[in-house]
Amino acid sequence: MVSLVQVLAVIIVVLIVGLVLSCVKIVPQAQALVVERLGAYQDTWGVGLHFKVPIIDRVARRVDLKEQVVDFPPQPVITKDNVTMQIDTVVFYQITDPKLFCYGVANPIMAIENLTATTLRNIIGDLELDQTLTSRETINTKMRASLDVATDPWGIKVNRVELKNIIPPAAIRDAMEKQMKAERERREAILRAEGEKKSTILVAEGHKESVILEAEAEKQSAILRAEAEKEKRIREAEGEAEAILKVQQANADGIRFLREAGADEAVLTIKSLEAFEKAADGNATKIIIPSEIQGIAGLAKSLVEVGKDK
């Protein structure tokens, strides 16, 4: 049978093993352990394997070093022009000093919430409603800077602050919706007027272009008609000149033929009279005949009369 001493020895061994194992601590990544010895701060353990003294040392707090997000409920704030609205914020923070985080403030999250509310009221109190609605980035920057300074003694770094939602009163929202509707209608009227203006300008430019093209076509047509008339007159003049040249050439050929045939001066003179006779058949009302031809003409008339008497 197992004696009582053996049982007690086994129990003691188990307790010792359990106690030793409880003194072995493994700290995972992005975490830290705050260790106290006899109630006083002893050390902050980082990532890795650690051993503590049994009974004397204890782990006071396990701290998460990752960046954390806390969403606070809407806070009532009053603007500079006495408009009450609800604003809820989101704060991104990270613990940088586990010791200060454990011993700097009793409830860090509640402290950050209250600090955020008071800081937000101070900033919004200096802005009017329109500035509050259009200056989110400015408000975020001011709040982050103020909270970062205030939470530094607590071992907390505020990385970012965002205004999640801004809720004006119902009457203000209705007025804003009406204003936005009127603005949209005004922009629509402006766009319609600009479209009509552009359309009118395009129509006028098209009409102007059409008139210019018609004038250009008329000008080109007139030029072509003038050139055709000019060409016609040139050809008519060339034809008349060619006809006169041929007549003169025929006369010259006739005179040359008479000379070659041995015609005397009298024959040539008679031929000249025949030429004047043809000229007199035209529209001329007055013909000047040289004196030599007049004498020969008289002689010819006398010969004709003598011939008649015989």
Q: Please check whether residue 147 is in contact with residue 161, taking contact to mean a CB–CB distance below 8 angstroms.
A: yes
Confidence at residue 31, expressed as pLDDT on a 0 to 100 scale: 92
Residue 145: how many other CB atoms lie within 10 Å:
13
| Helices within 24-107 (DSSP H only) | 98-103
Confidence at residue 304, expressed as pLDDT on a 0 to 100 scale: 43
Residue among 273, 278, 276 at smallest CA distance from 304: 273
The whole-angstrom separation of Cα 227 and Cα 235 is 12
The β-bridge relationship of strands 68-71 and 48-51 is unpaired
The whole-angstrom separation of Cα 129 and Cα 77 is 11
The whole-angstrom separation of Cα 163 and Cα 91 is 9
Would you state the structure tokens that stand for residue 66, as one six-digit string? 């990752």
Confidence at residue 160, expressed as pLDDT on a 0 to 100 scale: 92
Q: Please check whether residue 167 is in contact with residue 86, taking contact to mean a CB–CB distance below 8 angstroms.
A: yes
Per-residue pLDDT of the chain in tens (310 residues, 90 and over written 9): 557 777 788 788 888 777 777 788 888 998 999 999 888 999 999 888 888 888 888 888 899 999 999 998 888 888 888 888 889 899 999 999 999 999 988 888 899 999 999 999 999 888 888 888 888 888 999 999 999 999 999 999 999 999 888 888 888 778 778 888 888 888 888 988 998 888 888 888 888 888 888 888 888 888 888 888 888 888 888 888 888 887 778 777 766 776 666 555 555 565 555 555 555 555 545 555 555 545 554 544 454 454 445 4
Confidence at residue 237, expressed as pLDDT on a 0 to 100 scale: 83
Determine the distance from the C-alpha atom of residue 268 to the mean position of all C-alpha atoms in its chain, rounded to a whole number: 98
Confidence at residue 303, expressed as pLDDT on a 0 to 100 scale: 43
The whole-angstrom separation of Cα 156 and Cα 159 is 9
Domain range annotation of the chain = 21-62, 68-168, 265-310
The whole-angstrom separation of Cα 39 and Cα 56 is 9
Q: Could you say which architecture CATH assigns to the domain 68-168?
A: 2-Layer Sandwich (3.30)
